[in-house]
Amino acid sequence: MRLAHVLLAAALMPPLPSLAQGQGLTLSQALSLAARPAAAMTANDAPLDLDEALGLALEAQPQIARLAARLRGLEEEARAEGELPDPRLTLGLTNLPVDTFSFTQEDMTQFMVGVSQMVPGGDKRRLASRRTSVEADRMRSELAEARLQITREVSLAWLDLYYPRQALELLGRIEQEISRQVEWASVALASGGLSQADALAARLTREYVIDQQAELQRDEARARLQLARWVGEAAARPPAGGPLPAAPAMDPASREAALRSHPELDTLAQAVALARAETDLARESYKPDWSVDMGYGLRGGGRTDMFSVQVGVELPIFPKQRQDRRVAARLAAAEGAESELEDRRRQLAARLGAALADWQAADRRVAHFDATLIPLAQRRVDSALAAYRTGKTEFAAVLEARRAELEARLQRLGHEVARARAAVELRYYLAEQGSSPAPQPASQG
């Protein structure tokens, strides 16, 4: 009788299958996904891979549209800055006698029509246009930086959804097996072929798996809501299974070159260039602006009309109070921008190094799990089953071995996702916007 029980237990506990693609939510379930359990999911939706998620996020992103519109505005403004100011038309009545208000009583009375034009001194128009062009270049860098940041955020949000969905798939299969074991244990307990302690151990194992499922379902719901911020209704679809984002080429020379051209640093470099352009423009303020005024006076009573022309010029006779202070302010702003650029460069270099260390550690751990820990956990299950068949151990030892194997597989999945997250960070710091996943070792089954 005991041999039959052992054979049944062995049949109910085959080696764990490999991680399969998760199952997705329908659109109606996605609208209330925070309140729907993972068991309510269906497989009607096509899986959402990372490249598609990135395309959806970048296609109609308000932040991208805002920066693009601002860039177009600055490009147009740069053209306008190089033009002369608009001329000014003046109309007036001068020297009108207030006793009679007669237009012909006095010789000096006349109706004036005038045109005035201000001419910026020095090279102010060209420098103003150049300043705005540099500002447009900075906005262009901000646009590239925003696209890169969105790529990173969407990739991380997709991975946050990938892990609980894959873990739930694994736990779902294990929970079904353990539920069958609990049913078998109840029958075996009634027939005297299994102790009450072993039956309770089987039930406790199942409840442990159910508790893990509840926690993962919460994580999945939260991750799906975060991803929906970027891809909308497509977040209701299941994340496609592997391959995950891979680390880019990371030889020291390419890392240094990519870091120097990072959009964050380019944005700050353009801020330095803008401060310098404003400094050049401030220096031009020592050169006075000019104005030309022309007027034509209409006089009645058969009197001769009058024409007048005059030239005006600014007098920067107190440069210490205005021009010197403005130049000093712009120089200080340029110095501050240069310091900020150097500080950010150091920050990015440190973060790149940290992301590289994270990737290397996760890669080593995945390899260790694949080469050693997972095979050992499988051998422990086989050994426990063999010992149980010969009556050398209790059924609880078999359940504990199975539980340890499950924990090992979940940890391996966590390290695989951690490696992918580190790869996403590396791609950000090396300014690679595509996910470009390369084949990596599949999750062990």
User: If you classify domain 2-84+123-287+347-429 with CATH, what class do you get?
Assistant: mainly alpha
Q: Given this model, what pLDDT does residue 340 score?
A: 92
Torsion angle, CA of 326/331/332/334, rounded to 10 degrees?
Answer: 130
HSE value, Cβ hemisphere, 13 Å, CA-based, for 233: 7
Q: Given this model, what pLDDT does residue 354 score?
A: 93
Peptide bond into 243 cis (omega under 30): yes
Torsion angle, CA of 192/197/199/205, rounded to 10 degrees?
Answer: -160
Q: Given this model, what pLDDT does residue 293 score?
A: 94
Burial 380-398 (b: 16+ CB within 10 A, else e): bbeebbeebbeeebbbbbb
431 Cβ neighbours under 8 A, 6+ residues apart? 148, 258, 261, 262, 263
For the chain, the domains span 2-84+123-287+347-429
Contact 359, 255 (CB under 8 A): no
- Enter the tokens of residue 383: 């050994």
Which region, left, alpha or beta, applies to residue 20 given φ > 0 means left and ψ of -120 to 50 means alpha? beta
Contact 440, 244 (CB under 8 A): yes
Sign of CA dihedral 256, 260, 263, 268: positive
- Per-residue pLDDT of the chain (445 residues), as tens digits, is 333 333 333 333 333 333 233 333 333 444 444 444 444 444 456 899 999 999 999 887 888 889 999 999 999 999 888 888 889 999 998 888 888 888 877 888 888 999 999 999 888 889 999 999 999 999 999 999 999 999 999 999 999 999 999 999 888 877 777 777 777 767 767 777 666 777 777 777 778 888 888 999 999 999 999 999 899 888 988 898 778 888 887 778 778 888 888 999 999 999 999 999 999 988 888 888 899 999 999 887 778 888 999 999 988 888 888 888 889 998 999 999 999 999 999 999 999 999 999 999 999 999 999 999 999 999 998 898 888 788 787 777 877 888 888 889 999 999 999 999 999 999 999 887 555 444 343 333 3
Distance from C-alpha of 422 to C-alpha of 360, rounded to nearest angstrom:
9
- Give the distance, in angstroms, between the CA of residue 378 and the centroid of all CA atoms in the same chain: 40
Q: Can you spell out the DSSP letters for 139-163?
A: HHHHHHHHHHHHHHHHHHHHHHHHH
Q: Given this model, what pLDDT does residue 195 score?
A: 67
Task: Classify 389 as helix, strand or coil.
Answer: helix
Q: Given this model, what pLDDT does residue 433 score?
A: 57
Torsion angle, CA of 261/266/268/274, rounded to 10 degrees?
Answer: 140
Give the strands of the sheet with 290-298, arranged side by side: 88-94, 110-119, 290-298, 306-313
Which region, left, alpha or beta, applies to residue 435 given φ > 0 means left and ψ of -120 to 50 means alpha? alpha
Give the length of the chain. 445
Q: Given this model, what pLDDT does residue 421 score?
A: 95
318 to each of 284, 326, 327, 362, how far by Cα in Å? 15, 13, 14, 66
Judged on CB neighbours under 10 Å (0-12, 13-18, 19+), 189 is middle
Distance from C-alpha of 23 to C-alpha of 29, rounded to nearest angstrom:
13
Listed as own residue / partner, the contacts of 403-407 with beta carbons closer than 8 Å and 24 or more positions apart are 403/205, 403/208, 404/377, 404/380, 405/16, 405/374, 405/377, 405/378, 405/380, 405/381, 406/16, 406/170, 406/171, 406/174, 406/209
pTM for the model stands at 0.74
Distance from C-alpha of 386 to C-alpha of 182, rounded to nearest angstrom:
20
Q: Given this model, what pLDDT does residue 11 score?
A: 35
Contact 51, 243 (CB under 8 A): no
